[in-house]
């Protein structure tokens, strides 16, 4: 028997918590604007048919929300342009000034590109949108009921089809959180394949696994992911821009090694790291899935989009096939999944601790109680109540609390949606909600069907 063909699947999971209209700086809608400027717009020059792009419905809700494009333009013209001017005026070192001028130019380029698209960033991403996800990135194994799972999954699938048309059944499980009891529900909803994290659970697993219920579980390849996304991964190289050291106005003028940032030196490093990545990815046969949060590329790793472009070019040069994951799973013969699999996530350890551990247990239980309260309301439930529940169920709030990110913001957001949902239930839909353009495709029907 011949060895399986080596193929590399680059999967970009694109997600932003629901921040539209919920604060600006230091926490809130500015996160979306920064991701648009530093990741989503530059990525348009790199994406091709080989890259598997997952767009979460909650991100799409925000990209098409009324007024977001106008506020993004104001942010670039009035905030980033002026703060760069002030930072440049406050630095005497010519190398640091050059680094800040480079930074300012990247925002100007983003503004030009956005205006050239007539503000339709989502439309520009649409030809590449292949995989969808749960409506608001909820941890599906932590939901209280099967009806709640159906609500998250069906809303996400309906939103994808409404926006993009064709869907081949690829579904990103939020945080790669999988439990075997989900499989029949996913099959019922039309899910064909989902990525899972089986490192330390099924060591060395790269072959797609066929579940008893039907969906394929596609293991992500931690060994090659860690080349990029680990404390000693490529973004830690000295030449790259330091994402943690900021100027007075929150810009970045230095490299990881402390020198003033030099974009040409960093680009050379990106090309070298891309060559190393391709060499390592080609060393083992089979399907190798490198799944990354899209926002790493550009936003957290300034040179990440340059690295991705170099990976695609280097793979072509050496003959390493890069396959769209939908096509790859059709070519690779799946094997039966183990009869018993524990609940797994990409978290450390590979369980639900990040989202239901002691620091966030109250959040997890509050979301479950709210789900049960909404179901108990039956046909009196309003659309805004459903959308407040979806917002409350987002994985982002617990993640930020566990990782001690964003201060009190995640708790305030979760509590706000819980209180808004309670008000909706008390007033039978006459309360003033907080969800604006979130989940416009949501319907209470999955909660009401037996």
Residues 206-217 have pLDDT tens digits of 889 999 999 999
pLDDT in tens, 317-354: 999 999 999 999 998 889 999 888 999 999 888 999 99
How far is Cα 386 from Cα 303, in angstroms, rounded to an integer?
A: 40
Q: Can you tell me the mean pLDDT for 162-166?
A: 95
How far is Cα 89 from Cα 250, in angstroms, rounded to an integer?
A: 14
pLDDT value of residue 2: 45
Taking the chain, what is the end-to-end CA distance rounded to the nearest angstrom? 48
pLDDT value of residue 450: 61
pTM for the structure as a whole? 0.96
pLDDT value of residue 4: 63
CA distances from 154 to 132, 193, 239, 253, 325 (A): 11, 15, 45, 45, 22
Note whether 156 and 197 are within 8 A (CB): no
pLDDT value of residue 334: 92
Q: Can you tell me the mean pLDDT for 53-74?
A: 97
Note whether 389 and 382 are within 8 A (CB): no
Q: Detail the DSSP E strand segments found in 4-66.
A: 7-14, 52-55
pLDDT value of residue 431: 60
Q: What are phi and psi of 114, to 5 degrees?
A: -65, -45
pLDDT value of residue 125: 98
Mean pLDDT, the chain, rounded, equals 95
Q: Can you tell me the mean pLDDT for 71-91?
A: 97
Cα angle 248, 252, 253 (rounded to 5 degrees) comes to 95
* Residue 231: pLDDT over 70: yes
* Residue 235: pLDDT over 70: yes
pLDDT value of residue 1: 38
Beta bridge partners of 193: 170, 216
pLDDT value of residue 367: 98
Note whether 177 and 303 are within 8 A (CB): no
Q: Detail the DSSP E strand segments found in 59-172.
A: 129-133, 171-172
């Amino acid at each position: 028997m011949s060895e399986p063909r080596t193929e590399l699947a680059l999967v970009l999971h694109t997600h932003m918590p629901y921040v539209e209209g919920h604060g600006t700086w230091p926490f809130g809608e500015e996160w979306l604007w920064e991701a648009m400027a530093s990741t989503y717009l530059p990525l348009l020059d790199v994406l091709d048919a080989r890259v598997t792009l997952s767009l979460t419905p909650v991100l799409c809700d925000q990209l098409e929300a009324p007024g977001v494009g106008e506020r993004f333009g104001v942010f670039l013209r009035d905030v980033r342009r002026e703060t760069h001017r002030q930072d440049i005026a406050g630095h005497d070192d010519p190398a640091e000034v050059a680094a800040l001028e480079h930074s300012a130019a990247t925002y100007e380029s983003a503004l030009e590109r956005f205006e050239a698209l007539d503000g339709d960033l989502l439309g520009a991403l649409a030809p590449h949108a292949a995989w969808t996800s749960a409506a608001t990135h909820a941890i599906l194994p932590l939901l209280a009921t099967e009806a709640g799972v159906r609500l998250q999954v069906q809303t996400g699938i309906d939103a994808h089809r409404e926006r993009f048309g064709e869907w081949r059944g690829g579904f990103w499980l939020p945080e790669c959180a999988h439990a075997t009891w989900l499989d029949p529900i996913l099959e019922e909803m039309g899910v064909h394949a989902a990525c899972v994290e089986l490192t330390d659970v099924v060591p060395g697993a790269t072959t797609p696994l066929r579940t008893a219920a039907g969906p394929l579980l596609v293991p992500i390849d931690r060994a090659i992911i860690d080349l990029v996304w680990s404390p000693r991964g490529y973004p830690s190289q000295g030449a790259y821009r330091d994402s943690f050291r900021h100027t007075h106005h929150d810009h970045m003028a230095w490299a990881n090694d402390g020198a003033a940032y030099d974009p040409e030196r960093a680009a050379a490093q990106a090309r070298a790291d891309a060559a190393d990545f391709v060499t390592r990815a080609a060393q083992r046969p089979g399907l190798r899935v490198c799944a990354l949060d899209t926002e790493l590329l550009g936003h957290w790793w300034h040179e990440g989009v340059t690295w991705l472009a170099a990976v695609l070019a280097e793979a072509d040069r050496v003959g390493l096939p890069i396959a769209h994951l939908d096509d790859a799973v059709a070519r690779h013969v799946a094997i039966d999944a183990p009869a018993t699999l524990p609940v797994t996530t990409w978290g450390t350890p590979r369980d639900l601790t990040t989202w239901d551990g002691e620091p966030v247990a109250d959040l997890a239980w509050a979301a479950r109680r709210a789900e049960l309260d909404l179901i108990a309301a039956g046909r009196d439930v309003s659309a805004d109540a459903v959308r407040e529940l979806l917002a409350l169920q987002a994985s982002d709030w617990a993640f930020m609390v566990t990782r001690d990110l964003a201060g009190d913001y995640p708790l305030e957001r979760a509590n706000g949606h819980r209180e808004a949902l309670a008000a909706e239930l008390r007033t039978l839909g006459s309360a003033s909600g907080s969800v604006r353009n979130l989940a416009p495709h949501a319907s209470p029907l999955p909660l009401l069907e037996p």
